[in-house]
Amino acid sequence: MVKAAKPADLRAKTPDELQARLVELKREQLNLRFQQATGQTESQSRVRVVRREIARIKTIAAQNAKTVAGAQTSAANA
């Protein structure tokens, strides 16, 4: 089982790496949902971990986008 990534580790990744990890986690979340629906889920806690890591990645991606947009705006105003 893969542990959730720490926010500092996620912030060090490029936007492409974050997007790839997000796609991977969404695929895992879909599989976990199917397992849950059929009663085959081995670990209920993994569902929560995956959901929270998806939120963490989306938050960091939004923060990165906001930082880049702010830097471009301040450069344009200068």
* DSSP class of 12: T
- 73: domain CATH number is 1.10.287.310
pLDDT in tens, 22-72: 999 999 999 999 999 999 988 889 999 999 999 999 999 999 999 888 777
Q: Is residue 1 included in any domain, yes or no?
A: no
Q: Domain count for the chain, please give it.
A: 1
**What domain range includes position 72?**
7-77
How far, CA to CA in Å, does 12 sit from each of 24, 36, 78? 18, 33, 28
Task: Indicate the angle between helix axes 44-77 and 15-38, nearest 10 degrees.
Answer: 150
> Which residues are within 8 A (CB) of 30 and not within 5 positions of it... i.e. 6 or more apart?
none
Which of the four pLDDT bands, split at 50, 70 and 90, describes residue 21?
very high
Q: For position 76, what pLDDT does the model report?
A: 74
Alpha carbon 56 to chain centroid, angstroms = 5
Q: Is residue 2 included in any domain, yes or no?
A: no
Q: Is residue 45 included in any domain, yes or no?
A: yes
pTM for this prediction? 0.81
Q: For position 23, what pLDDT does the model report?
A: 98
